[in-house]
Structure formats: C-alpha cells, structure tokens
Chain A
C-alpha cells in the first residue's frame, strides 16, 4: 500500500498536478499550502494563538462554508425552477412533493442562508469587539461591511423567488422603500422591477440578480477580503508583552521592506 502511494506521488502525473511530494515532511507540508491555488490564502505556518477556536470561532470561515453550500444547493434547485408566474410557485410545490430530496434541498438552502446572515453579522460584531478593524485592517473592515450588505441583498432577492404571499409582500414593501429615495428612487424601482408592478419581469430580474450578479460579486469580494487578511498581516492578535531587546522590531521592519518592495514596484508595470 505504502509502495503504491510512494510510486503514485512520485509519478510525473502527480508531480505535474501537485508540484510536491507526499506531505510527510515540513518542507512538503509547506509546499502543500504554498503551491496550492485553493490553500495559498493560508500562511504555511500559523501562530497557535491565531487558530484557537475561541479566538475567532471560525465565524468568517464558516460563513464562507455557508456560501459554498448555498452555491451547490442553489445550483441544484435551479434545475427544477422556472422564473415565471405561476410556475415558480408550482415548482416549489413540486420540490416539496414530487422531486426526490427536493424538500431537503430547499430546506438546506433556506436554513443555510439564514445561518449565513447570522454568521456574517456575528463575525462583524466579534471583529469589532476584538478591535480587529483598526489599523492596518481598516480597508478590509470596509470590504467586510460591503460583503454583509451583499449577503443581505442575496437573501432578500431570494425571498421573491418562491412567489408565495410572504415573497410578494416583502418585495412590495422593500421596493416601495427604494422608491422613497429622493430623486433616483422612482427610477431605481422601475429598473429593479422592470415595470410598475411586481410581475414576471420583476421575478426574472430578481432571479438574475440572485443567481448571477450578486453571487459573482460576493465571490469576488470574498476573494479580496481573504487576500487582504494576508496582506494586512494575518488575523488580528493582541500584542504580547514586548521582549526586552528591540531587535524584533527592526527585524520586522526590514523583512517587511524586503517583502514589500518587489510587489509595490512590480505591480504598476504589470498593470500598465
């Protein structure tokens, strides 16, 4: 068994995919994180304090996990759903009574969305309480507020899709609030609903927003958010009492300058 595994991890195919050996040495474990597209937003080593459960309760990560579950369940639901009146509602009934595991998938989608909102909100409150939004993470906090807004909008646009009484009136009240915005309100409402009343057009528009526009925006924003976590120096930890010698600080400054300079000088050239 071990022989096969060794042969496999040394084969050219394996190497073309993973670029490192079996992660049983610290070097290969580092490379497993560092050279993987999916894992490279992690540092290769983490401080013990940083990964303690009670430090973050993994709230942000779990919110991302919810987004992942929602994408999968949502895609499944799309296979049976027509954004037309009255099929939209009938499809809900079909999911409930006709489609295998339909009710389960719809439940999962619904409860995951509610959980995600709660997680994102608590994530924000916890970040605030720990003071993690302060310098140098100001901008990442602002991105986070944007992600909270998009999350709520996702849930809100999803509300209309079942086309039941709750959906209809939640959207009726919501779009009237939009209409109350001075100057641009009426126009925005017209664009949002695709007409003056809530009908097929509005359903289709909310469907496109819910399934394409907002999830893509959120995915992009989450990428930015995670990237900034690393660039702003990892997750926030309260500083330990300073050591007696001040070597560390200079050390930090110099490595920071080393690591920073190629990026800051390269980036404009690449973009230009």
Chain B
C-alpha cells in the first residue's frame, strides 16, 4: 500500500495560489450554506398566523359596574375598575413572570400566587419581586359599550369618563 501523499506533491506557486483560492471559495460556500440554512430554519419556525385570542373585545355597558367595583374578566385576563372619576382597565398578568394575579371580592389588593407580588387597585406595586406596575389598557366606548384593546397600553392616569 503506497500512500499518495498530497503534502509531498511538487507544486508551482501559481498552483498553490489556485489551491488557496479554491479552498477559500469552498469554505465560503459552506459557510453561506450554513447561514442560509439557519436563516431559513428560524424563518420556518416563526409562526406567521398563530390562531389566538382576539386582542379587542366588548365588555358591556359601564353602568353595569357599580362605582368602586371591579369586574374580573378571567378569560381575557383583564380587570375593569370603576373608580370615582371613570373606568379604567388593568392587565391581570403579573409583570414579574406572567402568572395571572388574583383579586378577592371587596379587597383593595391584587396578589400574584407565583412569587408573591402585590399591587394596589391602580396597578402600583405594593410589595414583592415585581418592579413594573400592572399596565393600563386602552378602553373605548362604542355604541355605549366598553371595548378593551389588550395590545394597546395607555398612560397610567388615563380614564374613560362615563
């Protein structure tokens, strides 16, 4: 068995140059194919049309909530609060790690069961690991009924006057 040793084949400078160029070309093509595969892979895995809950829904007439009362919409993860001056909506998803907070009837505190954060009825943090307040969601009045837009956050003093 004789080894054909490519390291030992005599070669001119031009041939070496060509070899280097082809080597570079090959590695480049390989790298490009790798990057292309990755980009296409991520693109493929990214869902274009996830069938999910609506981000806009009708709550009902504002008069249905008594002043100072809280309407808990469990399905949509929203609290609709009627203060003295008007109505506002808070997301009930804890800003810490996304657990759904709870509000006991007649209590003035919203508590997260996962890591113990507590918020007041304005959404401000009272205690616990959460640092951000519960976001206030946009409300509009359409044909006398309150509509919540869950993807649209508004300033923390915005009220829907009724």
**A contact set with B: CB distance below 8 Å:** 169, 172-173, 175-177, 190-191, 194-197, 199, 201
Q: Does B84 contact A (CB under 8 A)?
A: no
- Least distance between A180 CB and chain B CB atoms (Å): 8
Q: Which applies to chain A's interface (DSSP): helix, strand, loop or mixed? A: helix
Chain A residue with Cβ nearest B55: A196
Interface size class of B (residues with CB under 8 A): 10 to 19
- Contact residues in B for A191 (Cβ distance below 8 Å): 42, 45-46
Chain B residue with Cβ nearest A180: B97
Interchain CB contact under 8 A, A176 and B98:
yes
Interchain CB contact under 8 A, A196 and B98:
no
User: Roughly how many angstroms separate A195 CA and B45 CA in the complex, as a whole number?
Assistant: 10
Interchain CB contact under 8 A, A173 and B98:
yes
- Contact residues in B for A196 (Cβ distance below 8 Å): 50, 52
- Contact residues in A for B42 (Cβ distance below 8 Å): 191
- Least distance between B96 CB and chain A CB atoms (Å): 8
List 18 contacting pairs A-B, 8 Å CB cutoff, sorted by A.
A169-B99, A172-B97, A172-B99, A173-B98, A173-B99, A173-B114, A176-B97, A176-B98, A177-B97, A190-B46, A190-B47, A194-B50, A195-B50, A195-B52, A196-B50, A196-B52, A197-B52, A201-B50
Taken residue by residue from 98 to 112, chain B's Cβ proximity to chain A (1 for < 8 Å, 0 otherwise) reads as 110000000000000
- Contact residues in A for B53 (Cβ distance below 8 Å): 197
User: Roughly how many angstroms separate A168 CA and B25 CA in the complex, as a whole number?
Assistant: 49
- Contact residues in B for A176 (Cβ distance below 8 Å): 97-98
- Contact residues in B for A175 (Cβ distance below 8 Å): 98
- Contact residues in B for A169 (Cβ distance below 8 Å): 99, 114
- Least distance between B50 CB and chain A CB atoms (Å): 3
User: Roughly how many angstroms separate A201 CA and B52 CA in the complex, as a whole number?
Assistant: 10
User: Roughly how many angstroms separate A177 CA and B98 CA in the complex, as a whole number?
Assistant: 9
- Contact residues in A for B47 (Cβ distance below 8 Å): 190, 194-195, 201
User: Roughly how many angstroms separate A199 CA and B52 CA in the complex, as a whole number?
Assistant: 8
Q: Which interface residue of B46, B52, B97 has the most chain A CB atoms within 10 A?
A: B97
